[in-house]
Amino acid sequence: MDTKATQERIYRNKVDHNFNTTDIPQEFCYLYGEVGEAYQAWLKKKPDFGEELADVAIYLLGLAQITGVDLGREIEKKMTVNEMRYYTPDGEKHLKP
């Protein structure tokens, strides 16, 4: 999946359907609601669990596009940081030397 192209496609769909593209707090509320729906689908072992996860991703990618964040690039950067971390038994995190 080309994350940037997907972000643009999601944004275009929002515009085409006159969905919200400016109210960031509202988008966070929608995202939160979709996470809740995904959790309920998982909890109840519903067959649409994957679809609910897709809704979460769609709202997250849409939010990234609205706010000008290249989420694919940010994920790559964050994964590099995470891969350089190690955790001590007391739960503290450190970067590998």
Q: Which sequence spans correspond to the domains of the chain?
A: 3-95
| Nearest-angstrom CA–CA distance, 29 and 55 | 13
Q: Which pLDDT belongs to residue 86?
A: 87
Among 25, 17, 27, smallest CA distance to 58 is for 27
Average pLDDT on 73-86 reads 94
Question: With 80 as the cut, is the pLDDT of residue 97 above it?
Answer: no
Which one is predicted more confidently, 96 or 38?
A: 38
Among 13, 70, 67, 58, smallest CA distance to 34 is for 58
Determine if the pTM surpasses 0.75: yes
Summarize pLDDT for 26-68 with one digit per residue, the tens.
999 999 999 999 999 999 999 999 999 999 999 999 999 999 9
Among 63, 65, 40, 68, smallest CA distance to 53 is for 40
Q: Which pLDDT belongs to residue 70?
A: 98
Which of 3.40.1280.10, 1.10.287.130, 1.10.287.1080, 1.20.1070.10 is the CATH number of 3-95?
A: 1.10.287.1080
